[in-house]
Amino acid sequence: MIAGRRAALVGVALLAIGLVLPFVHGVYIVFAIDLVCFALAAVAFDLLLGFTGLLSFGHALFWGGAGYVSTILIAHGVTSFPLAVLAGVGYAFVLSVVVGAVAVRRSGIYFAMITLAIGEIQYFVAFQLIDLTGGENGLPEPTRGTLFGLSLENDHVYYYLVLAIAAAGTLLAVRAVTSPFGAVLAAMRENETRAKSIGYDTDRFKLAAFVMSGTLAGLAGALYAGANRLASLDAVDWHTSGAIVMMTILGGIGTIYGPIVGAAVFQSLDFFVSKTAIGDKTNIVMGLVFAIVILVARRGIVGELLHHLNARRPRFVEDEDDPDRLVADVAGETA
Amino acid sequence: MSQLTPDYLLIQIFNGLVNGGFYALLALGLSIIFGMLRIVNFAHGTMYMLGAFVAYYGAQEIHLPFFAALIVAPLVVGAFGLLLEVTLLRRLYGLDPLYNLLLTFALVLVIEDLMRLVAGALGSPYETPAMLAGATNLGFTEYPTYRLFVIVVSVIVCAAVYVIIERTQLGAKIRAATEKPDLTRAFGIDTSRLVSATFAFGVALAALGGVLAAPNTNVQPTMGDSVIINTFAIVVIGGMGSILGSIVAGFALGVIAAVGAVLFPPIANTLIFIVMVLVILFRPAGLFGKPERAA
Amino acid sequence: MNTSRFCYAFAAAAALLAPLASPSGVAADNGPIKIAVITDMSGVYAAISGQGAVEATKMAVEDFGGKVLGRDIEVDGIDHRNKGDEAAAKAAEAYDSGAELALDLTNSATAVAVAGVAKQKHKLAIVTGGASSAITGESCNQFTYHYAYDTYALASSTGRNIARQPNGKTWYGIVPNYKFGQSMLADFTTAVEGEGGKFVHADMYPFPGTTDFSSYLLAAKEAKPQVLGVLNAGADTVNTMKQVKQFGLDKQMKIAVGLLFLSDVDALPDVFSGSRITTSWYWNEDKAARAWADRYTKRVGNGTRPTDIQAADYSATMQWLNAVKAVGSVDAEKVQKYLDGRQFNDFYAHAGEWRARDHRVTHEMYVVDVLDKSVIKEPHAWFKIVQVIPPSRAFRPESQSKCNKDW
């Protein structure tokens, strides 16, 4: 579903929308930046859920943790934006290796519980390290820093930078899942025991996927802290982990581009509904939408769309000899 | 740090047993639901909250006495749980259990927010029943009578549930339906009825916890949020699906947390999670769980 | 898909588009002047502030005449839902679409977040709801004022009032171990020790996550202090007070609560009766306050009385509008220079001053006892004023300010 020309078109279309988003009437620029950050986080999350089959309920660990690290550095005088963000990403990377090593030994519910619990530990630590994190007040980011001398204070400049980074991150994710690495992940998802018996160290692959997912989510989180010029406890709260899960499922797990749509829909609903007359019932709306999706449209927006598109016309699969060519699937074997 | 006399520690242990009682009731319900239905009920804390509110509204509207609420609230909330199971959760049984986890997560959002619209975000007042007010002399201290009541009720209920499940025919059917649903059905036992009843029962236990909590805690729509994550941790520590595990882990961790709160305050709220991570590392199935089918 | 070609295309598009982008909807100089009331509309602080704050602000605008400098005044209520990043984003959006003032900011995290945005956008923010004294301390800035109360004022007033008396010297503290709690303890300790009292012990309990205070309360019972300092907030205060009553501690010692509002007592009168707290204003404190409160109650329509935050919102709005009129401009820097050092008096702030040193707005504070529902003379008349604290004693002295003033 991800490879091939059709998928590439989807990617380009999303990018085009991203390019013109700030000009759409009613879209506020900071909201747009936040949206792109969440989109990247959802893509990262999908790597883990859609392609490795692991549900993490603790992605706020990386999203929020990296946000804090980069903000702490800037608050202590680091003016180079890449440096601060890289530090955040580095923190997410190390954390994901450590957490992953513990968590991937288990799967399913246990995996979710471990990530949830470790996420809570980080939350409480962030609460307690008041001098470093500002405690419940959060840590304001005095400046966004500079990128090769260019100031990032202008929201529009920052937006396009974030968009570029998010696009690159998505590209990386796409590359990963369409590579031989991704093929092994797919095999593991289908039948882990068989994959093991062929000789793949499935735990290693799961760990690799987890680290990739966590690091990318950390990147998104560091950029997000810059968007709002604030690192806050909400970012390391399990409710944020839950929001990322919801966005991904809303868009469609296992589709990489789906979570981008999911994040956009989720954030838009959240932001705009909270401004309407029923604004105080936003949670009910979000909960209902999510419940309905789980009950009747589990594949998510993009997933359901792709499913119906595929059902109507003859299916195309990649030619075995030339992956860039699509041939009609006459035998109808592929799902 | 307060004077660490043996008396003081003893008081802490009692406090731990009170909290442990709540944990045990909640973990028990969650564990039963998981063991039987393979559902991780994220909405368990919400059911606890609903139990407290049934007690509150019962008292407000029909002068429902506390002792009656102990029966009525679990019945009402159990019925509500039954409704949820039959109309919503049942649809997802054939699928990856993670979908049910996510559905119950969505339910938390909806139910809590609806409750907020009804009851407001601030607390609703619920008094300690007059008969249980005041303190009892335990020898080493004067201890609030109500808290002793909580310990007694939670121990009795946990023991009763354990006996029912492990020693009665009904319990045998439940265990059979949990371990080998197809075989059990082949024997003519209606497993789907059993499943629904079990979910309702698990939820009723949570509601009972809510009623017991109401006099002591702020009855507000988000009161379930603060218990659900801890409850998950305890169920994992005890062993998911293990009745004995939930009870023992619940009481034990209640005491550990209470003692930890005065001995090592900085890490007190993370103590449960640290224990959970250690258990997963060294005894993955939980203290009393069977090293079985990875969930 | 050819990666490098894609990159070039993207870079070109972005380079072309970015400079063209302009902030959406900048208000023209004859468009309406907007006030953004950013508060918690639906959560735990909605009763303290919420929609009532928006109404109070609208009242001020109407009383002012609805227009200033020939332009209409618009009041927008914005729900921050108690999230700092959401508050920051919505504040930035409000400022960019014509808001000249962000008001209320109940919840310290949102207050600190919006203060940062205010500084960045060079627009004013007046915090009435948030409690943290960091707003005029380490997070102070040129464009933010702290109007109503703060943790120092609460601690100083209640602490001194009780410790002054011979039966108020020994204190036992129930303190949540986070920034708010630690500030409260530090400030209460200063106040109490200043009157010759002391904290015999303070239990720093884990926050968040503690709902059971029995161990600490039992220890307090053993320690037999004269005063129990309940220095927490929100649900914690409710839980602590419920358990205080359960253990009968209120019969044994004086109960001082750090942070409490009229609406909290409305919700749970039995829990809070008998405690002593500090407030920045009480609706029945004098004729002028009552007159305003009557108008508010009539307007809002359900019989509730305004909290001090809602009154502060009215007062701050009126002050700001008058300043704008006097200066002849909405420019934040000009208004700020006008306000700094200015003294004023209204039904809310007695002996008020916009302190220039750190943007702390000082005024009288009131130490009150919470009455039992059996003795109140009319609905919502929960408080009985026991002492009026002058601003010089209530607020952190300028010499001790932690504000790194950069303007």
Amino acid identity at C98: G
Tally of domains within chain A: 1
DSSP per-residue string spanning B85-143: HHHTGGGGTTS-HHHHHHHHHHHHHHHHHHHHHHH-SS-B--PPPGGG-SEEE-SS-EE
Report whether pLDDT(B55) > 80. Answer: yes
pLDDT value, residue C196: 94
* Closest in A118, A124, A245 to B102, CB measured: A245
Residue C355 DSSP class: -
Strands C227-230 and C170-176: parallel
Beta bridge mates, C352: C344
Contact C44 B121 (CB under 8 A): yes
Segment C262-281, tens digit of pLDDT: 999 998 999 999 999 999 99
For residues C34 and C130, membership in a common domain is answered with yes
Least-confidence region, from A10-24, A97-111, B167-181, C301-315 = B167-181
pLDDT value, residue C208: 80
Side-chain-facing half-sphere of C89: CA atoms under 13 Å: 29
CB pairs under 8 A between A and C: 127
pLDDT value, residue A3: 60
Contact C246 B215 (CB under 8 A): yes
Does A277 reside within a domain? no
Residue B105 makes CB contacts below 8 A (sequence gap 6+) with A242, A245, A290, B42, B43
Kindly report the CATH number assigned to the domain that includes residue C290: 3.40.50.2300
pLDDT value, residue C276: 95
Domains of chain B: 6-282 (1.10.3470)
For residues C169 and C250, membership in a common domain is answered with yes
Report whether pLDDT(C20) > 60. Answer: no
Give the separation between CA B113 and CA B107, rounded to whole angstroms: 10
Segment C147-166, tens digit of pLDDT: 999 999 999 999 999 999 99
Q: What percent of chain C clears pLDDT 70, i.e. is strictly above it?
A: 93
**pLDDT lower than 70: segments of chain A:** 1-4, 312-317, 327-335
In chain C, the residue whose alpha carbon lies closest to the alpha carbon of A280 is: C42
For residues C144 and C53, membership in a common domain is answered with yes
- Backbone CA torsion sign across C387, C393, C395, C396: negative
Least-confidence region, from A76-85, A207-216, B286-295, C111-120 = B286-295
Side-chain-facing half-sphere of A44: CA atoms under 13 Å: 35
For chain B, first and last CA: distance in Å?
Answer: 42
For residues C145 and C287, membership in a common domain is answered with yes
Least-confidence region, from B14-23, B253-262, C180-189 = B253-262
- pLDDT average, residue stretch C17-39: 68
Least-confidence region, from A264-278, C26-40, C94-108 = C26-40
pLDDT value, residue B141: 79
As given in the structure block, the two tokens for residue C342 are: 């200015």
List CB contacts (< 8 A) between B12 and chain C.
215
pLDDT value, residue A307: 84
List CB contacts (< 8 A) between B127 and chain C.
270
pLDDT value, residue B165: 86
Confidence of residue B183 (pLDDT cuts 50, 70, 90): confident
Residue B219 DSSP class: B
Q: How close B115 comes to chain A (CA, Å)?
A: 10
Tally of domains within chain C: 2
For residues C79 and C157, membership in a common domain is answered with no
- pLDDT average, residue stretch C21-39: 72
Amino acid identity at C45: Y
* Closest in C47, C208, C210 to B122, CB measured: C47
In chain C, the residue whose alpha carbon lies closest to the alpha carbon of B20 is: C212
CB A60 within 8 A of CB A233: no
List CB contacts (< 8 A) between C109 and chain A.
136-138, 232-233
* Closest in B116, B146, B269 to C209, CB measured: B269
Does C137 reside within a domain? yes
Report whether pLDDT(C106) > 50. Answer: yes
Residues B107, B113, B118, B122, Cα dihedral to 10°:
130
Contact C215 B262 (CB under 8 A): yes
Residue with tokens 């999911």: A262
pLDDT value, residue A312: 62
Q: How many CB atoms lie within 10 A of CB C311?
A: 28
- pLDDT average, residue stretch C168-186: 93
Task: Please give the C-alpha separations between residue C278 and each of C151, C155, C367, C384, C388, in angstroms, as whole numbers.
Answer: 10, 8, 4, 11, 10
* Nearest by Cα to B255 from B274, B268, B241: B268
Domain that holds residue C128: 29-149+281-363
Q: For Cα atoms C71, C72, C75, give the angle at the middle one, nearest 5 degrees.
A: 135
Does A170 reside within a domain? yes
As given in the structure block, the two tokens for residue C351 are: 């002996």
Does C388 reside within a domain? no
pLDDT value, residue A147: 86
* Closest in A281, A283, A291 to B103, CB measured: A291
pLDDT value, residue B11: 85
For residues C124 and C165, membership in a common domain is answered with no
Domain that holds residue A62: 4-237
CB A326 within 8 A of CB A316: yes
Side-chain-facing half-sphere of A318: CA atoms under 13 Å: 13
Q: How many CB atoms lie within 10 A of CB A239?
A: 12
pTM of the complete model: 0.89
In chain C, the residue whose alpha carbon lies closest to the alpha carbon of A157 is: C18
Helix H, strand E, coil C: the string for C122-178 is: CCEEEECCCCCHHHHCCCCCCCEEECCCCHHHHHHHHHHHHHCCHHHCEEEEEEECC
pLDDT value, residue A2: 57
For residues C109 and C225, membership in a common domain is answered with no
Does C392 reside within a domain? no
List CB contacts (< 8 A) between C6 and chain A.
12
For residues C132 and C82, membership in a common domain is answered with yes
In chain A, the residue whose alpha carbon lies closest to the alpha carbon of B106 is: A287
pLDDT value, residue A329: 58
Does A303 reside within a domain? no
For residues C175 and C238, membership in a common domain is answered with yes
pLDDT value, residue C320: 96
pLDDT value, residue A335: 41
List CB contacts (< 8 A) between C215 and chain B.
11-12, 15, 258, 261-262
List CB contacts (< 8 A) between A102 and chain B.
277, 280-281
Amino acid identity at B57: Y
DSSP per-residue string spanning C259-302: S--HHHHHH-HHHHTT-EEEES--TTSSHHHHHHHHHHHHHH-S
Confidence of residue C394 (pLDDT cuts 50, 70, 90): very high
Segment A87-116, tens digit of pLDDT: 999 999 999 999 999 888 887 888 898 899
Question: Would you call C229 helix, strand, or coil by DSSP?
Answer: strand
For residues C97 and C237, membership in a common domain is answered with no
Residue C360 DSSP class: B
